[in-house]
Amino acid sequence: MPFAITIGSDSSAIEAILKRLREFGGDQYELFDQIGAELVESTRQRFIHGEDVDGNPWKRSWRANLQGGQTLRDTGRLMNSYTHNPSSHGVEVGTNVPYAIPLHFGAEILPKNGAYITFAVAGNYRKVKKATLPPRTQLGINAEDERMVLDVVEDFINDYILRST
């Protein structure tokens, strides 16, 4: 997965509780599989609502304005490419679509040859000296995601306790 986000140590309540979970021992694959599935769904909802991790609307793309569509949803390839890879120690959420990185962080595109970039959208051609893609964050964990992860962990702990009795 060339594009994924990692939660660093001590970054949140999630990291603290995941450290404590190691004390339970055993295989936590199912826990991380469920967390990953929920985070992928949260990422897809950002595409559906056209908003970043903090709930701010994405800047509308030229293509979406021209065709009346939604930003970053022309074919749905990027939105549908997000997936998760769980293990017994964590989960990775990301995509293998190469253009996810510049769309997430933003980018400035300059011509490779010549003075202009020429591109077409819906039969209309545009010639520019550079193109600036604003950041449209897709991956990340907001307060709602954090609550969801903590709820999943709580359910896991409760199930673990019930299995142990």
Per-residue pLDDT tens, the chain, 165 aa: give them: 666 656 554 556 777 777 777 766 666 898 999 999 999 999 999 999 999 999 999 999 888 888 888 999 988 999 999 999 998 888 999 999 999 999 999 999 999 888 999 887 767 788 899 989 999 999 999 989 989 998 998 888 887 766 666
Domain boundaries, the chain: 3-102+134-164
Specify the pLDDT at position 70. Answer: 92
Q: Write the pLDDT tens digit of every residue in 39-75.
A: 999 999 999 999 999 999 999 988 888 888 899 998 8
Average model confidence (pLDDT) for the chain?
A: 85
Amino acid letter for position 157: I
Strands 3-4 and 91-95: antiparallel
Output the CA torsion 142→56→130→119 (10° steps): 100
